Each structure stands twice: as structure tokens, then as C-alpha cells.
Amino acid sequence: MLVITKQTPLKVVLEVGKECDKCNNCCKHDSGIVLEEDIPRIAKSMNLSEKKFKETYLVEHERFNTTCYKFRQEKQKDEKTKTEKPYGKCIMLHDELGCMIHDVKPLHCKVCSVKSKHGEALTQWFALNYLVNTKDPESIRQWSTFLQFQTPIQGGELKDLVSDKRRLRKILNYEILK
């Protein structure tokens, strides 16, 4: 049985990520993270400049104190309160056709399928390899908070990310801020 760890090679993760059954459930409630390296490929496929693609389809997003992008969302209004819901359909999801950029979708969308039996492990793999910055104390603190609700994959424990116990303690106690 395959076990996803922080060190699992991208090639393996991409293969496992193919387990997605294209139900579009993920895309109906959220949008994928778009890394800088995804942007040229997707923009080119849409015959847009990178700048125009960013302006039209992306919003800045922060996760684990790392700035990245997410696709814009078509948010719905709550009928009772008339306020905007905090979630919404990915702008790239067409109601009948599905994902409009499926062939060039970002890495996050390729590997973080909710329905996959490895879904949670793949989500952590992505975060650990692309979002959690071991040199940034705030990123480590945010990962620590995440771990209060999740069991880490191998390589994702705090001691794996910051091997110096004294430094880790200082980070978690806010004695080291930057």
C-alpha cells in the first residue's frame, strides 16, 4: 500500500492524483491554489498574457504565511441573511462542461482531490512542499495550528521541519518572530 510522505516524488503524487473522478465537488465549493509556475502554462492555453490572466482570474491568497494565488470564486448569497457566503464555485468550473482548463490545471488541482483515498495526505504533501516555509517562524506556527486538527504525514511533524528543539520552542512561544 502506498504511503504519501513529504518526500514522495512529484511523479508519484501526480499519478495518485489521477484518482480524481471529475465529480467537480471540490470546484463547486472552493477554487484551487495557483502557483507562480502554473501561471505561464495556463495563461498561454487561454491565449492571455500572464498579467491579464492574473487580473481576470486570480486573487492573492495566503496560506501558512505564504502568498500565492487562487482562482476567483463565484460566491452565492445566503437567502436568509442576504450576505455573501465565504465559499463559492471556482470561476473555471462550467456547469455543463466541467473544468474549463482541465488539461492545464494547476498542480494543486491535479493532486488535491477530495475524493481520493489519499486526499488528505496529498493536501499535506502539497502544503509541505509548496506553502510551508521552514525558514519562516510564522509559517511554522500556522502549520502547528493546522496539526492540532490533523495527523501529519511522515516528514510533516514540527520536529521534522525544525530539527533544533530549542529554536522550535522559541518559535512556538513567539520568542522568534522573523
Q: What is the pLDDT of residues 53-67, one digit of tens each?
A: 999 999 999 999 999
Q: What is residue 75's predicted lDDT score, i.e. its pLDDT?
A: 82
- Secondary structure (3-state) at 70: strand
Place of cell 455543463: 96
User: pTM of the full predicted structure?
Assistant: 0.90
Average pLDDT of every residue of the chain: 92
Spatial CA neighbour of 29 closest among 77, 83, 73: 73
Write the CB contacts of 142 (distance below 8 Å, at least 6 apart in sequence): 64, 65
Q: Are 131 and 70 contacting, i.e. CB atoms less than 8 angstroms apart?
A: no
Query: Averaged over 140-144, what is the pLDDT?
Result: 98
CA pair distance 55, 59, nearest whole angstrom: 8
